[in-house]
Amino acid sequence: MNNWKVFLNGLVKENPTFVLLLGMCPTLGTTSSALNGMSMGLATTFVLICSNIVIALLKNLIPDKVRIPAYIVVIASFVTLLQMLMQAYLPSLYASLGLFIPLIVVNCIILGRAEAFAAKNTAIPSLFDGLGMGLGFTWALTLLGAVRELLGTGAVFGLTILPSSTNMLAFVLAPGAFIVLGYLIAIVNKIKK
């Protein structure tokens, strides 16, 4: 199996956000700014890579009857580790992302990749799958957050680009997430064709 093909699959061909439409809760809930989107994406990437590797290594030891609960325990362990590290070293970011960090446990991207890929492959391809899917999710959330932040506040990553007279508050609110996501999906589909 070509590890780079597996990696690129998550970035473009099977992008979790723009193609597979998975993980919509954090996609819409945390992307009011580019920093929040990128941070949520990187947090999810960490859990995705670690859980994919562990599940690939343990796949022959996990009985079929308890497969999904075992995957959830592995995923929850890494989310708990991530949560404690963020609370200790990045408290303001942790406060900003809030409830969405513990909700990584039930993110369908992670459980889906555990079931569809890591449980059927070895650790190295599973690492590349987790990295590709995670970075695909990260760039999608960062792009969505950057567009929403730019249109809503005139800034990206806190750097003012547009004058305040052009700010449209709706884009940093929930309806703006749906509007921008819809347009970005349309653009990605147009480019893919």
**What are 73's strand-pairing partners?**
none
H helix runs in the chain, sequence order: 3-8, 24-29, 34-58, 67-89, 91-97, 108-116, 123-153, 174-192
Here the tokens at position 152 are: 């809503």
Here the tokens at position 192 are: 């893919």
pLDDT the model gives residue 123:
96
pLDDT the model gives residue 193:
80
**Mean pLDDT, contiguous 10-residue spans, the chain (193 residues):** 84 91 91 95 97 97 94 97 96 92 92 94 96 96 96 93 89 93 94 84
pLDDT the model gives residue 9:
87
pTM: 0.93
Judge whether 135 and 10 are in contact, CB under 8 Å.
Answer: yes
pLDDT the model gives residue 1:
60
Enumerate the domain spans of the chain.
Answer: 3-138
Q: 3-state DSSP call for residue 156?
A: strand
Q: CA 140, CA 189: separation in Å to the nearest integer?
A: 14
Q: CA 111, CA 63: separation in Å to the nearest integer?
A: 17
pLDDT the model gives residue 120:
95
162 conformational bin, left if phi > 0, alpha if psi -120 to 50, beta if neither: beta
